[in-house]
Amino acid sequence: MKKRILLALAVTLIIGGLFFWFVDLDQVIEQLRQADWRLLAAGIGALLVAYVLLAVRWRYLLGNRPGFFPSFHAVNISNLVNSLTPIPEIALRVLITGGGSGMSIPGATSGMLIERSLEQVLRVLAFLVALLTGYVIALKTSSMLVNAGLILGFLVLMILIIRNAESIVSWMQIQLARFPRLDQRRVEKVFSDLVAGLRMAGGPRQLTYGLFMSFGIWGAFFVFAYLVLLGLNIHLPVEQMVAITLLTLAVAPPSAPGTPGLYQATIVGALSLIAGLDPALMTAYAIMVHILQVIPLVVLGIWGAMGTNLTLRTLFQQRQTVPVEGDER
């Protein structure tokens, strides 16, 4: 585990270093100095609204079993760690949530599968609307069809898994029963929690409400990213500003933060699809978007860690244990 984290960190540093090596940092710094901090502060306000809604959606998909603040802390801690390190936000939030509030790790995993599916839908919509503005360079039809097909296939696969969860889990249990060293009671407990979670979070009503919540979350994300553009005194046609904002959210939404360097490179690379943009200007934009995400996350993440008495050691300890009814503690 540690080796994988170190390897990911090394790759991130190399990519980030190469990215900043080819950027005019003096021009970027000058652009940041001219920022209107009132608009940037308003952007942080919109971002805080989005973080609250993220916690509400996360709690809802888990059947309202965790309280609001445990859900809020889990979202913020995992996002903060993922903003600064290569540790995946998805895995970390599942571990944090599965450590208490009557929620198991398999149950939290099922909620995460549904949430990621909803996020993929919003990312695709953001990209399509960006294309409709007319400012995004036309991509090859074959490339677009392949990408759309992969995303559609992923969503169809998720729906099939949800609808046939019990049959799939029964088959997997039969296969795992061939391994005598596995504790079958624990295997049954894991899979029963996973199925229960998928049924709860993947019902038509839950998916509909979850999608509406996702639109609210992404609406707040859009306001945040657009206000950052205005705060950096970037004045372009409204349609082009909308295209920049939507492409940024499509490739690097605040609900899936990334590590410094790699995050900025991802955004600037995506914005290269819009002709005529100044690379230094877009780099300043990508840097500011990331900084303004990290500032509130540092405060909220530390608050969450203190409120939950959470340490990485306890996380990795609880990862190794799945409680089973009747076990002695």
pLDDT, averaged per 10 consecutive residues of the chain (329 residues), comes to: 50 48 57 82 95 93 85 89 78 79 74 83 84 70 58 68 68 66 59 61 75 93 94 88 91 73 78 80 84 87 78 51 41
Q: What is the DSSP letter of 177?
A: T
The predicted structure's pLDDT at residue 328: 39
**Token duo for residue 235:** 């004045």
**The tokens 């503690």 sit on which residue?**
329
Domain boundaries along the sequence of the chain = 30-318
Q: For residue 318, with 0-12 CB atoms within 10 Å meaning exposed, 13-18 middle and 19 or more buried, which class applies?
A: middle
Side-chain-side CA neighbours of 290 within 13 Å: the count stands at 22
Beta pairing partners, 274: 136
Smallest CA-to-CA distance from 190 within 94, 124, 114 is with: 94
Residue type, 3: K
Distances (CA, A) of 81 to 41, 77, 84, 294, 311: 23, 6, 5, 10, 12
Q: What is the C-alpha separation between 180 and 42, in angstroms, rounded?
A: 58
Residue 32: count other Cβ atoms within 10 Å of its Cβ: 15
Of 291, 211, 276, the closest CA to residue 244 belongs to: 276
* Residues in CB range of 230: below 8 A, 6 or more apart: 36, 39
Phi, psi of 136 (to 5 degrees): -85, 130
Gyration radius of the chain over CA positions: 21
3-class secondary structure for 138-159? CCCHHHHHHHHHHHHHHHHHHH
Nearest CA among 113, 99, 105 for reference residue 192: 105
HEC string of 46-61?
Answer: HHHHHHHHHHHHHHHH
Measured CA to CA, the distance from residue 19 to residue 21 in angstroms comes to 5
Q: Is 123:249 a contact under the CB 8 Å cutoff?
A: yes
